[in-house]
C-alpha cells in the first residue's frame, strides 16, 4: 500500500492523490471600511504541497491566512477545505479541529512551563492547561512527544522552562506544538524570522521532510529561504495573485520584478 499522505489516516484518503486540492479559494473578496484587502482572489494548494506565498507589505498575505483560519470573514467567495468543507461557515475553533494549524510570526509558548509540558498541552488541545497536565499521557502520546523533541533538536531541553529557550528554539517548539496535533494543513507566517543561519537551514530541511505528510503554506520574505524550500510560489500584490509558478519563473516575471523584487 502507498504511504498515506497524512500522518493521521483520513477516510477520504483513498479518493485523492497529490494533484487534488487540500484547499481551494474561489473569488475571495475582503474589504475593511471600503479598502479592498483581497480582490477576487483564487488560489489552490495541493495535498502534500509546500507552497510559499510572497509579496510586498500590505499585499494581503496575513488577510489570506485570516480568511482560511476563520479570523476574517470574506464578503464573498468560498474557501473549500479537502474538497468538502466550506471554511467560511465554520468558527476558528472548528477550523483548527478540522486539521488546520497556524503559526504566527512571534512564538507564543507557555514560558513558565517546560518544553515537554508545552508539547503535552498542545497534544491535548481540547482540554484546559491544568486539566491536561493532570491527565496522564498514554505510552503512545509520550513516545510521540519524545519523537517530536528529537525531530526539533530539543531533547536536551525537555525539562527547561520554555521561557529560557533561544528565539529560534521557541520557534521550533511552537512548530512542534502544532505538529503533535497532527494537522493536515499548516499555515506558517515567516517561520524563519529571527533565526540563526543554522536554524534557518534546519527549518528548511524540516519543512521539506514534512511536505507530503502535511500540506504547508509558508508566508516568507526571505528569498534565500524560499529558494531552499519551495517548488511552487504564489506572488500576491494588492490583494490579488500577481504570478504563480516555480521561483525561477516568478523571479523572471516583469511585473513581479517591478512591484516586489526591485530592479
Ligand X SMILES: Nc1ncnc2c1ncn2[C@@H]1O[C@H](COP(=O)(O)OP(=O)(O)OP(=O)(O)O)[C@@H](O)[C@H]1O
Residues that bind ligand X (CB under 6 A): 32, 35, 37, 55, 57-63
> At its nearest, how many Å lie between ligand X and the CB of residue 190?
8
3-state secondary structure of 46: strand
The three grid cell numbers given for residue 24, joined into one nine-digit string: 481551494
Nearer to ligand X, 103 or 184 (CB): 103
Nearer to ligand X, 73 or 127 (CB): 73
> At its nearest, how many Å lie between ligand X and the CB of residue 90?
20
- Measured CA to CA, the distance from residue 163 to residue 150 in angstroms comes to 19
> At its nearest, how many Å lie between ligand X and the CB of residue 128?
30
- Measured CA to CA, the distance from residue 231 to residue 249 in angstroms comes to 11
> At its nearest, how many Å lie between ligand X and the CB of residue 58?
4
- Measured CA to CA, the distance from residue 95 to residue 216 in angstroms comes to 16
> At its nearest, how many Å lie between ligand X and the CB of residue 219?
7
Nearer to ligand X, 38 or 179 (CB): 38
The strands making up 85-86's β-sheet, listed across from edge to edge, are 35-46, 21-32, 76-81, 85-86
**Helical ranges in the chain per DSSP H:** 61-68, 92-97, 115-123, 129-134, 139-151, 167-179, 197-210, 223-229, 247-252, 254-256
Nearer to ligand X, 154 or 216 (CB): 216
DSSP-derived pairing of the beta strands 76-81 and 21-32: antiparallel
Q: Which DSSP string corresponds to 106-139?
A: S----TTSBHHHHHHHHHTTTS-HHHHHHSPPPH
- Measured CA to CA, the distance from residue 51 to residue 231 in angstroms comes to 7
> At its nearest, how many Å lie between ligand X and the CB of residue 86?
21
Nearer to ligand X, 75 or 97 (CB): 75
Nearer to ligand X, 104 or 202 (CB): 104
Nearer to ligand X, 15 or 35 (CB): 35
The strands making up 100-103's β-sheet, listed across from edge to edge, are 100-103, 185-189, 215-219, 50-54, 232-237, 240-245
> At its nearest, how many Å lie between ligand X and the CB of residue 32?
3
Amino acid at each position: 500500500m502507498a504511504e498515506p499522505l497524512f500522518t493521521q489516516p483520513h477516510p477520504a484518503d483513498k479518493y485523492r492523490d497529490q494533484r487534488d486540492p487540500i484547499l481551494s479559494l474561489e473569488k475571495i473578496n475582503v474589504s475593511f471600511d471600503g479598502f479592498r484587502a483581497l480582490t477576487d482572489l483564487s488560489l489552490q494548494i495541493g495535498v502534500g504541497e509546500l507552497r510559499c506565498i510572497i509579496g510586498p507589505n500590505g499585499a494581503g498575505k496575513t488577510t489570506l491566512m485570516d480568511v482560511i483560519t476563520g479570523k476574517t470573514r470574506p464578503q464573498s467567495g468560498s474557501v473549500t477545505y479537502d474538497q468538502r468543507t466550506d471554511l467560511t461557515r465554520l468558527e476558528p475553533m472548528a477550523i483548527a479541529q478540522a486539521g488546520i494549524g497556524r503559526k504566527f510570526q512571534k512564538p507564543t509558548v507557555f514560558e513558565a512551563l517546560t518544553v515537554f509540558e508545552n508539547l503535552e498541552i498542545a497534544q491535548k488541545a481540547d482540554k484546559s492547561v491544568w486539566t491536561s497536565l493532570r491527565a496522564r499521557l498514554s505510552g503512545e502520546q509520550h513516545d510521540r512527544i519524545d519523537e517530536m523533541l528529537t525531530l526539533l533538536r530539543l531533547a536536551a531541553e525537555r525539562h527547561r522552562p520554555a521561557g529560557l529557550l533561544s528565539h529560534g528554539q521557541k520557534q521550533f517548539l511552537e512548530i512542534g506544538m502544532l505538529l503533535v496535533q497532527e494537522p493536515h494543513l499548516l499555515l506558517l507566517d515567516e517561520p524563519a524570522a529571527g533565526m540563526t543561519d543554522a536554524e534557518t537551514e534546519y527549518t528548511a530541511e524540516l519543512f521539506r521532510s514534512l511536505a507530503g505528510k502535511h500540506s504547508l503554506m509558508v508566508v516568507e520574505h526571505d528569498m534565500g529561504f524560499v529558494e531552499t524550500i519551495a517548488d511552487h510560489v504564489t506572488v500576491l500584490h494588492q490583494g490579488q495573485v500577481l504570478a504563480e509558478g516555480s521561483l525561477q519563473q516568478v523571479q523572471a516575471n516583469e511585473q513581479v520584478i517591478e512591484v516586489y523584487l526591485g530592479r
